[in-house]
Amino acid sequence: MDTLEVALGARSYPIFIGSGIVSDSALLARAIIARQVLIVTNTTVKPLYLDKLRGALAAPSICVHVMNDGEQYKTLETFAAIIDSLIDAGFHRDACLIALGGGVVGDIAGFAAACYQRGISYVQIPTTLLAQVDSSVGGKTAVNHPHAKNMIGAFYQPGAVLADTDTLATLPSRQFAAGLAEVIKHGLALDAEFFAWLEEHIDAVLGLDAEALRHIVRRSCELKSAIVAEDEHERGRRALLNFGHTFGHALESIGNYERWLHGEAVAIGMVLATRTSIALGLLDPAVADRLEQLLARANLPTRAEGLSSERVMEIMQLDKKASAQGLSLVLLNAIGAGVIAPAPDAGLLRGVLETGLRE
Ligand SMILES: NC(=O)c1ccc[n+]([C@@H]2O[C@H](COP(=O)([O-])OP(=O)(O)OC[C@H]3O[C@@H](n4cnc5c(N)ncnc54)[C@H](O)[C@@H]3O)[C@@H](O)[C@H]2O)c1
pTM, whole model, 2 decimals? 0.96
C-alpha 2: how far from its chain's center? 20
Please name the fold of domain 173-358.
Dehydroquinate synthase-like, alpha domain (1.20.1090)
Say yes or no: CB of residue 68 within 6 Å of ligand 1: no
User: Ligand 1 pocket test: which of 69, 124, 130 has the largest number of ligand atoms within 8 Å of its C-beta?
Assistant: 130
Q: Name residues whose C-beta falls within 8 Å of residue 241's C-beta, 6 or more positions apart in sequence.
A: 134, 185, 189, 224, 227
Is the CATH number of domain 2-170 3.30.160.40? no
Q: Which atom of ligand 1 is nearest to the CA of 126?
A: 28
Contact criterion met (CB below 8 Å) for 83 and 25: no
Q: Where are the alpha helices (DSSP H) in 145-285?
A: 173-190, 192-206, 210-230, 245-254, 262-279
Q: Is 346 exposed, middle or buried (0-12, 13-18, 19+ CB in 10 A)?
A: exposed
Distances (CA, A) of 87 to 83, 105, 109: 6, 19, 15
Could you give the CA distance from residue 219 to residue 242 in angstroms, rounded to a whole number? 17
| Helical pair 76-88 and 103-115, crossing angle rounded to 10 deg | 60
- β-partners of residue 64 are 39
Side-chain-side CA neighbours of residue 42 (13 Å):
22
Domain-wise residue ranges, the chain: 2-170, 173-358
Other beta carbons less than 10 A from residue 282's beta carbon: 16
**What is residue 328's predicted lDDT score, i.e. its pLDDT?**
87
Measured in Å, residue 198 CA sits from the centre of ligand 1 at 22
**What is residue 359's predicted lDDT score, i.e. its pLDDT?**
65
Helix (H), strand (E) at residue 110: helix 103-115
- Ranges of beta strands (E only) in the chain are 2-6, 13-18, 36-42, 61-67, 96-101, 121-126, 140-145, 148-155, 160-164, 328-334, 337-342
State the distance between the two ends of the chain, measured CA to CA, in whole angstroms.
Answer: 44
Say yes or no: CB of residue 103 within 6 Å of ligand 1: yes
Contact criterion met (CB below 8 Å) for 317 and 256: no
**What is residue 150's predicted lDDT score, i.e. its pLDDT?**
93
**What is residue 318's predicted lDDT score, i.e. its pLDDT?**
59
Active site residues: 118, 140, 182, 224, 234, 238, 242, 245, 249, 262
Sequential pLDDT tens for the chain (359 residues): 999 999 999 999 999 999 999 999 999 999 999 999 999 999 999 999 999 999 999 999 999 999 999 999 999 999 999 999 999 999 999 999 999 999 999 999 999 999 999 999 999 999 999 999 999 999 999 999 998 899 999 999 999 999 999 999 999 999 999 999 999 999 999 999 999 999 999 999 999 999 999 999 999 999 999 999 999 999 999 999 999 999 999 999 898 888 999 999 999 999 999 999 999 999 999 999 999 999 999 999 999 988 888 889 888 875 545 555 677 899 999 999 999 998 888 889 999 998 877 76
Distances (CA, A) of 37 to 98, 116, 206: 7, 13, 35
Entry field: residues in the chain: 359
Say yes or no: CB of residue 242 within 6 Å of ligand 1: no
User: Ligand 1 pocket test: which of 107, 167, 234 has the largest number of ligand atoms within 8 Å of its C-beta?
Assistant: 107
Measured in Å, residue 344 CA sits from the centre of ligand 1 at 33
